[in-house]
Amino acid sequence: MGIITTDQLVHEYIRRDENGDEIGREQALRGVSIDIPAGSFIAVLGANGSGKSTFAKHLNALLNPTSGTVIVNGLDTRKEENQWDIRKSAGMVFQNPDNQIVATVVEEDVAFGPENLGVKQEELQGRVDEALKKVGMFEYRYHSPNRLSGGQKQRVAVAGIMAMRPSCIIMDEPTAMLDPNGRKEVIDTVHQLNKEEGITVILITHYMDEVVGADYIYVMDHGEVAMEGTPREIFTHVKELSDIRLSVPCATELCHRLREAGISMELSGVLTSKDFVNAYRNTHFTDLSKESIKNPNSAENALKSPNTVREEGASGDGEHLDNNEVLLELQNVCYTYSEGTTYEKKALKNMNLKIHEGEFVGLIGHTGSGKSTLIQHLNGLVKPTSGKVMFKGEDIHGEKYSKKALRSNVGLVFQYPEYQLFEATVLKDVCFGPKNLGLSQEEAEKKAKEALALVHIDETMYNSNPLELSGGQKRRVAIAGVLAMSPKVLVLDEPTAGLDPVGHDEILQEINHIHEETGMTVVLVSHSMEDVAEYADRVVVMSDGECKLYGTPQQVFRNVSELESMGLAAPQVSYIMQMLHAEGLAKEAFAITLDQAVNALLSERRETR
């Protein structure tokens, strides 16, 4: 028997009406039986609503089985007297760090867990310092968690569990709010704990590249284990994973697309960039006639030059927007948190930025670089310590300027959509903004229904409680609430965090569709270099409160070493292309999207026939 064993685990949620009466039951887990060996690194994958988080909460007795059993370190989770010992041995890192941060100072929060376990004072400080260093948050040890970014809070939450030194760490989307370097640091840290200290790790994630190094993967779908195996076994099933809203690592996807287009490559075992290069070295070119091409979209477009991609709607060329009206402008904007106190922090330093009408702007930067602070300046939620924010040439903090008018023109969707959902039903929530602008009930409902249709929320959900929706549905409703006010600018702070791969793509495609159909200006804050490369006209790169790079995706992502020095990265596919070029396997050394890489490689194959 492993450190954790479940046998026919079933969990039902009871649905109740507003009076508390039961109106139905929903089975979130349906007979899940697994055995996790001590010291292993296990990954759990699944779409939103597949039962992953419910399963995780059973592993440290936060939930009790409706039926079946969960045994942790030989203890039955159903017995109340076992729960303290279970939670000592199985530490849980939640999706949203606000759910587990309790103290007013970072180091006190990290100390909370081990202190409650009775760790002696002389050992306690060493544990706290070590945990904070491992997640890159030591310099923030005296800060208030309330002053940290979402990603920084997540690192503190991870450190708090590490300091407890449990025999098992369960991590539910721990890197959803982290920059690329932060994600790597956390995953590398838990791998180190797993290998050097024998700590069992159970990682729930939607980042496929994070599970390449796992010992074993369980794939969940509709509350059941749909697939299980090693990473090399699981990721050969590209279509089957796609059918249940999942994806595969970047290298695997690129290999799959080339195979579909007629290049004979071995898919099994291609998980990393190095794997791809080795597999590509051994390929031979097969027939590229239309009859042999299984994926017309990738293959027909593949024969065109990569330079034409932008003209067809993919990433890259923003120069044609330079002559458009400047909607938003930051002029020497500085902002300091807790000015004049020991917690003083300069979040923005002499920011100068112009956002033109019709642009799709990607805003990237390391965790704590000032991205969220910057976008809160765009609709006047935060006032600069110095400098000016202009909308259509007017100072938004001028004496007679209407903040109400500004916020109808510049709509902001927060990192956590549940923070801006508060009405009893979806329709009422989306009507709130238009009614606040003075529209009649009839006009507000018309606007709300149009906005809900844009984000694919149908009439059957109008009377649902927005807080009971899935993560993806909440985000759609929050976006609809802003769209219903017909803003000129839509600002989105990490709108895809925590979503499964298909939900992630759907949200971005919907946003891009709205942008293209209406000409609405979009500002997207993201930690995904791939998303920014795919959709943005321009990219703003922030580091330590300053704008370090600015340009089209092609211009920005050529600065790989500079991006990496700021805790960022280029899109994964660009590293693959550089490796192929260095090995003499590709003429083209630069691509920032999968489509561009496929286009370039197939074009080269055709030329050499």
Q: Is 284 exposed, middle or buried (0-12, 13-18, 19+ CB in 10 A)?
A: exposed
CA pair distance 300, 379, nearest whole angstrom: 44
Q: Is 441 left (phi over 0), alpha (psi -120 to 50) or beta?
A: alpha
What are residue 42's phi and psi, to 5 degrees? Answer: -110, 135
44 SS3 class:
strand
Contact 110, 128 (CB under 8 A): yes
Q: What is the pLDDT of residue 289?
A: 37
User: Which pLDDT score, from 0 to 100, does residue 18 have?
Assistant: 62
12, 25 contact by CB (below 8 A): yes
Say how far residue 294 (Cα) sits from the centre of its chain. Answer: 31
123 contacts: CB under 8 Å, gap ≥ 6: none
CA distance 271 to 248: 8
List the Cα angle 286/287/289 in 5-degree steps. Answer: 155
Distance CA 577, CA 589 (A): 5
DSSP-derived letter for residue 16 is E
The number of angstroms, rounded, from the C-alpha of 124 to the middle of its chain's C-alpha atoms is 33
Q: Considering Cα of 16, then 19, then 20, then 21, what sign does the dihedral take?
A: negative
Q: How far apart are CA 274 and CA 280, in angstroms?
A: 10
Find how far residue 78's CA is from the centre of its chain.
34
Q: Which of 489, 505, 251 is nearest to 358 (CA)?
A: 489
Question: What confidence score (pLDDT) does residue 78 get?
Answer: 95
What 3 state SS string does 97-147 have? Answer: HHHCCCCCCHHHHHHHHHHHCCCCHHHHHHHHHHHHHHCCCHHHCCCCHHH
The pTM score is 0.84
Contacts of 99 (CB under 8 A, 6+ apart): none
Kind plus residue range of the DSSP H or E element containing 475: helix 471-483
Contact between 46 and 220 (Cβ < 8 Å): yes
Separation CA 35–CA 6 (nearest Å)? 7
Residue 354's contacts (CB-CB under 8 Å, 6 or more residues apart) are 326, 328, 329
Per the CB < 8 A criterion, the answer to whether 132 and 213 are in contact is: no
Quick one: pLDDT at residue 354?
95
Q: Determine how many CB atoms are found less than 10 A away from the CB of residue 367.
A: 25
Residue 165: what pLDDT?
87
* Residues 600 and 586 sit within 8 Å (Cβ to Cβ): yes
pLDDT score of 59: 95
CA quadruple 496, 313, 553, 323: dihedral sign: negative
pLDDT value of residue 588: 82
Give the residues of the chain that fall short of pLDDT 50.
285-316
Q: What is the pLDDT of residues 531-554, one digit of tens each?
A: 999 999 999 999 999 999 999 999
Predicted pLDDT at 571: 96
Contact present, 404 and 434 (Cβ < 8 Å): no
